[in-house]
Amino acid sequence: MSAKQLEPLRITSVVAAPLCGESPKGGWSEEIKPEDSIHTLIAVHTDGGITGFGSVFSNGDLVQAGLGVLEPLFMGENALEPERVAEKMHQHTFWMGRGGTLTHTISGIDIAMWDILGKATAMPVGQLLGGCYRTKVQPYCSLLMEEPGLMGDVIAEYKDLGFSAFKIGWGPFGRRNDEKLDEAIVAAARKAAGDDARLMVDAGASDGHWPNGLKWAMRAADMLDNYAVEWFEEALRPDDLEGHQQLRASSSVPIAGGEVLTRRQAFQPWLAGGALDIVQPDVTKVGGISEQRRIAWMADDFGVKYIGHGWNTALGLAADLQLAAAMPGCDLVEYIGGSPYVDGILATPFELDAEGFLDIPAKPGLGVELDPDKLARYTPVNLF
């Protein structure tokens, strides 16, 4: 078989489409409204007729501004070289907001370039990342905490849809100075999920003015252990590296975090410092697939488990599925319960199998196809 040289696919434009109208709640103390723009899709168009798609967990106006700054760096570049082009954008924007809007925006462009590389080579991204360890993965249904009476009903609704793993987070937990209430919420969730279900708890301490410290987190971790909770996420403020180190050392429940960190360099002290059992970078913020895969392997070298946080849209989830295929220890992906931006924009929606698993798309690129008519409900911008 002779080697075939692929002609470069030059980037001719990058388009950002903010999603709004049905933005799901975040459980934040200053709550998201349906009309708020917090998730943005990206299309990278090339001169070869192949278009790739990505996703950014950020406001549409910010992403549009980021594209304006980045344009001289990506325009005319070869979209078949995602890692080089993404690194070029990181390296030459040091003074212009790295770690924030620019890193977030690069994430969407990078994901779209991997999609293009897969489509051009007829390979799924997981395979391009070095090989697939699995063909399906368990999604955990991510749900906001509710008062105990309602919590069980919410879990039961998604259990009926076929989910067998759940994470409850944010809402009243840790925010009412009432540890009995916190326990009652978790007890209700465990009862509704059943003893066989996987259950995780996310305090959501990246919320504004998180009121609790290390001692609260230690007591909460002890309580969660009684309900066979698989991990305790964002139990402390997200900049509290030392607190996480102490909590991890004392807690029998694994400690998870990292969704707000961006750039691989930000993860180094957390991994080398033994602050986490599970690291949760968000592929739509952290710098994209190129950056996420390096963080996931760095974590693996430290014996820390990698579970992605790219739940914001169907394309974020699609990127997480490809990364889950390519990472040996990744046995879960986050799946936000009841978001139209995940469930309502693909030509073929995601579907759980009888065991509550998702097939990892085996088609080229991210392996999913946006439906332009469905998408038009949530954005005024034509990505195509």
320 binds Mg ion (CB under 5 A): no
Residue span binding Mg ion (CB under 5 A) among the ranges 115-123, 125-133, 201-209, 360-368: 201-209
Q: How near is the Cβ of 144 to Mg ion at its closest, in Å?
A: 11
Q: How near is the Cβ of 43 to Mg ion at its closest, in Å?
A: 28
Q: How near is the Cβ of 379 to Mg ion at its closest, in Å?
A: 25
Q: How near is the Cβ of 269 to Mg ion at its closest, in Å?
A: 20
Q: Considering the complex, state which of residue 31 and residue 71 has its C-beta at the smaller distance from Mg ion.
A: 31
One-letter identity of residue 280 = Q
C-alpha 371/C-alpha 314 separation (Å) is 11
Q: Considering the complex, state which of residue 54 and residue 310 has its C-beta at the smaller distance from Mg ion.
A: 310
Q: Considering the complex, state which of residue 99 and residue 238 has its C-beta at the smaller distance from Mg ion.
A: 238
C-alpha 368/C-alpha 358 separation (Å) is 13
Residue span binding Mg ion (CB under 5 A) among the ranges 60-68, 113-121, 200-208, 289-297: 200-208
Number of residues that bind Mg ion (CB under 5 A): 1
Q: How near is the Cβ of 87 to Mg ion at its closest, in Å?
A: 27
Q: Considering the complex, state which of residue 115 and residue 202 has its C-beta at the smaller distance from Mg ion.
A: 202
Q: How near is the Cβ of 362 to Mg ion at its closest, in Å?
A: 29
Give yes or no for a contact between 129 and 323, defined as CB atoms under 8 angstroms apart.
Answer: yes
Q: Considering the complex, state which of residue 202 and residue 320 has its C-beta at the smaller distance from Mg ion.
A: 202
Residue span binding Mg ion (CB under 5 A) among the ranges 22-30, 44-52, 196-204, 270-278: 196-204
Full 3-state SS string of 313-378: CHHHHHHHHHHHHHCCCCCEEEEECCCHHHHCCECCCCCECCCCCEECCCCCECCCCECHHHHCCC
Q: Which position has the token pair 């080697």? A: 3
202 binds Mg ion (CB under 5 A): yes
C-alpha 282/C-alpha 33 separation (Å) is 22
Residue span binding Mg ion (CB under 5 A) among the ranges 46-54, 144-152, 197-205, 354-362: 197-205
Q: How near is the Cβ of 233 to Mg ion at its closest, in Å?
A: 5
Q: How near is the Cβ of 145 to Mg ion at its closest, in Å?
A: 12
Q: Considering the complex, state which of residue 158 and residue 173 has its C-beta at the smaller distance from Mg ion.
A: 173
291 binds Mg ion (CB under 5 A): no
Q: How near is the Cβ of 217 to Mg ion at its closest, in Å?
A: 15
Q: Considering the complex, state which of residue 128 and residue 256 has its C-beta at the smaller distance from Mg ion.
A: 256
Residue span binding Mg ion (CB under 5 A) among the ranges 18-26, 58-66, 194-202, 247-255: 194-202
Q: Considering the complex, state which of residue 146 and residue 202 has its C-beta at the smaller distance from Mg ion.
A: 202
Q: Considering the complex, state which of residue 103 and residue 206 has its C-beta at the smaller distance from Mg ion.
A: 206
Give the binding site for Mg ion (CB under 5 A).
Answer: 202
